[in-house]
Amino acid sequence: MKKTIATLALILTATSASAGCLDDISEYAKDDKMLVAWGIEKDTQDTIVFVQNIRGLKPVDIEFYGFTQSMATSMENSFECQNVKFENAYTNLGMPRYNLAK
């Protein structure tokens, strides 16, 4: 069952450790154009990475493109991020699911 989230507020500057994590993801995103947005979830302090999930106006399975728990664990270890979770960046209708808080 897919979980439905209308918007998810993210805080981009939580701590220096998370800031380093976000900077590392930002560098990585320069080579991986599927990463749309990323940040630290306000309530849980999890690192949420929104992945481009629309191709040819149709939703795709982001796990098919490698955004699995294995990759999340690798990012946690390499970038020192906390609890990396990959989320679809867009709903099946193409509406953004992320909202970056300031």
Render pLDDT for 8-48 as a digit per residue (tens, 0 to 9).
Answer: 334 333 445 578 999 999 999 999 999 999 999 989 999 99
What number of CA atoms fall less than 13 Å from residue 92's CA on the CB side? Answer: 4
Residue 7 neighbours by CB distance under 10 Å: 12
Q: Name the pTM for this structure.
A: 0.78
Query: Are 84 and 72 contacting, i.e. CB atoms less than 8 angstroms apart?
Result: yes
- The CATH number of the domain covering residues in 18-93: 3.30.70
Distance between CA atoms of 54 and 48, rounded to whole angstroms? 18
Would you list the domain boundaries of the chain? 18-93
